[in-house]
Amino acid sequence: MHELSITESIVNMVSDEVKKRNINKVTKINIVLGELTGFEEDSIKFYFDVLSEGTPLYGAILNFKRVKAEFKCRNCGMIYNRENFTFKCPYCGSSGVLIEKGKELYIDSIDVE
């Protein structure tokens, strides 16, 4: 259900830009989405279709670029992606801490006609 409010924000932001620039049709919206946000692409697409109906955004393709979460090992300092739901470093086996990658959620670009 959190996808509804996020999708409303996406529709509102893009609609504001469309109005400012007198754009007739949005064809694609490129979104960067970190895996730790917990948002599902299919749910965002569903809500987008409903919320964009009757607007220049309707029918636009939502293109998602997924960003994997990254961790830094406390022991050896290696940066790695989580595997099999563990936070252990694949290089030395110590615990890692989350760094900023994987929390992203933003509109990267908008394609228009």
Q: Break the chain into its structural domains and give their ranges.
A: 1-68+101-112
39 among the known binding-site residues? Answer: no
The token pair at 101 is: 């990658």
77 among the known binding-site residues? Answer: no
What CATH number labels 1-68+101-112? Answer: 3.30.2320.50
SS3 of 67, please?
A: strand
SS3 of 35, please?
A: helix
pTM: 0.85
What is residue 17's predicted lDDT score, i.e. its pLDDT?
95
Give 80's contacts (C-beta < 8 A, 6+ positions apart). 70, 71, 72, 73, 89, 90, 91, 96
What is residue 87's predicted lDDT score, i.e. its pLDDT?
84
**Structural element, H or E, at residue 98:** strand 96-98
What is residue 1's predicted lDDT score, i.e. its pLDDT?
60
89 among the known binding-site residues? Answer: yes
Per-residue pLDDT reduced to its tens digit, 22-72: 999 999 999 999 998 999 999 999 999 999 999 999 999 999 999 999 999
Pairing of strands 96-98, 79-81: unpaired
40 among the known binding-site residues? Answer: no
Q: How confident is the model at residue 98 (pLDDT cuts 50, 70, 90)?
A: confident
73 among the known binding-site residues? Answer: yes
